[in-house]
């Protein structure tokens, strides 16, 4: 059984009434969800989607924009060492925490993100002792003498407890539930299965993920793939010796998206979505809304929801730029500016 899992915890707001009314946001993949508890906490266990590694981020953005009065916490554990937490509030990504930020580059770096001031505001925490302990747990390296963690799941459980997240949000995912492994804190009667939205199913809409990036001159497809896939070895690194070109600053990227997609259907500092006249949806994940706008970024995740690859829509992202779009489905560059 895989050690990996993804959960979404939705806290407060109108989630209980939306659950009762059967009006939760539609998703293009199946998921399990717990019945909201007395504190208004619901845990989602999204299905893994082939070639869409960040399907959980897509779901978190959808739920946060649909339930702006709720807090949404995305948790993802890929290996026994790697934990990623992303915190959403008022429809925007407020903070992102990683235990192994140097995973792709091979660097041994301390955990990143997990800004205590932001988390305190988001969760309404005022107790100084609790915030101090949370800061120590978030900032500890794996080998820290006092707060070291052998497995990412252990640290996740500690953080969840300090943030008053339900225990059922830790250590188990869709695959486990599908095989009948129910969390101890959840009775089978309080667990619901939600299939892929029927309307999306009938329309043949499929979720796909891409990366919008700035390719280096002469960069091969093999080296590009190594940017986005942790299991691909970049054999050319020793020969090129140059860092990947930056895509743009956050401010300039937002301005470009506004110019290329003037009829945006949804916009926030962390997420942009657009629906064209064929009802194909394109979503661009701009990261956390609190990042300085002058920050240069290497690439951004792009999602589409359509029956086929919307090449024209993807091309609009690169118009007037030397950018390209890489597909997780084909593991190839599918759009490259002339």
Q: Hey, what domains does the chain have and what are their CATH numbers?
A: 5-200 (no CATH), 205-336 (3.30.310)
Q: Which of 204, 211, 171, 175 is nearest to 51 (CA)?
A: 211
Q: How many CB atoms lie within 10 A of CB 180?
A: 7
Residue 239, pLDDT score: 44
3-state secondary structure of 254: helix
Q: Are 314 and 214 in contact (CB under 8 A)?
A: no
Phi, psi of 116 (to 5 degrees): -65, -40
If DSSP codes are grouped into helix, strand and coil, which group holds residue 300? strand
- Cβ within 8 Å of residue 200, ≥6 positions away: 26, 28, 305
Q: Which tokens hold the place of 299?
A: 């690439």
CB atoms closer than 10 angstroms to residue 94: 22
State how far the Cα of 226 lies from the Cα of 91, in Å rounded to an integer: 32
Instruction: Please give the Cα distance from 33 to 8 (Å, whole number).
Output: 9
User: What pLDDT, on a 0 to 100 scale, did the predictor assign at position 294?
Assistant: 94
Contact indicator for 295, 250 with CB cutoff of 8 Å: yes
Query: What is the model's pTM?
Result: 0.92
276, 299, 285, 154: which is closest to 219 by C-alpha? 299
Q: What letter does residue 250 receive in the DSSP assignment?
A: H
Angle between helices 128-139 and 116-123 (to 10 degrees): 130
Q: Any idea what DSSP says for residue 79?
A: S
Q: Which of 67, 38, 56, 35 is nearest to 301 (CA)?
A: 56
Per-residue DSSP letter, 176 = H
36 C-beta neighbours (distance < 10 Å), count: 20
pLDDT for 238: 47
- List of the chain residues with pLDDT < 50: 1, 238-239
């Amino acid at each position: 059984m895989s050690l990996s899992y993804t959960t979404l915890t939705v806290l407060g707001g109108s989630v209980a009434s939306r659950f009762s009314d059967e009006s939760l946001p539609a998703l293009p993949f199946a998921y399990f969800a717990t019945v909201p508890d007395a504190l208004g906490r619901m845990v989602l266990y999204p299905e893994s989607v082939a070639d869409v590694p960040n399907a959980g981020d897509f779901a978190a953005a959808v739920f946060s924009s649909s339930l702006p009065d709720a807090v949404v916490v995305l948790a993802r554990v890929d290996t026994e060492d790697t934990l990623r937490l992303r915190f959403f509030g008022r429809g925007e990504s407020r903070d992102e925490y990683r235990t192994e930020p140097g995973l792709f580059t091979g660097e041994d770096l301390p955990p990143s993100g997990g800004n205590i001031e932001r988390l305190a505001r988001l969760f309404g925490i005022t107790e100084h002792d609790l915030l101090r302990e949370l800061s120590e747990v978030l900032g500890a390296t794996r080998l820290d003498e006092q707060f070291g963690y052998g497995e990412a799941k252990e640290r996740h459980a500690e953080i969840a407890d300090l943030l008053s997240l339900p225990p059922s949000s830790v250590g188990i995912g869709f695959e486990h539930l599908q095989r009948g492994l129910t969390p101890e804190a959840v009775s089978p009667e309080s667990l619901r299965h939600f299939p892929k939205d029927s309307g999306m199913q009938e329309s043949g809409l499929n979720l796909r993920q891409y990366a919008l990036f700035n390719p280096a001159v002469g960069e091969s497809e093999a080296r590009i793939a190594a940017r986005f896939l942790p299991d691909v070895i970049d054999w050319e690194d020793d020969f090129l010796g140059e860092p990947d070109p930056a895509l743009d600053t956050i401010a300039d990227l937002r301005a470009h998206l506004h110019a290329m997609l003037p009829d945006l259907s949804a916009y926030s500092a962390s997420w942009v979505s657009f629906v064209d006249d064929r009802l194909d949806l394109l979503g661009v994940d701009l990261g956390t809304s609190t990042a300085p706008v002058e920050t240069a970024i290497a690439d951004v995740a792009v999602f589409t929801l359509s029956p086929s690859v919307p090449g024209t829509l993807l091309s609009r992202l690169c118009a007037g730029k030397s950018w390209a779009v890489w597909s997780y489905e084909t593991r190839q560059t599918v759009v490259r500016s002339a």
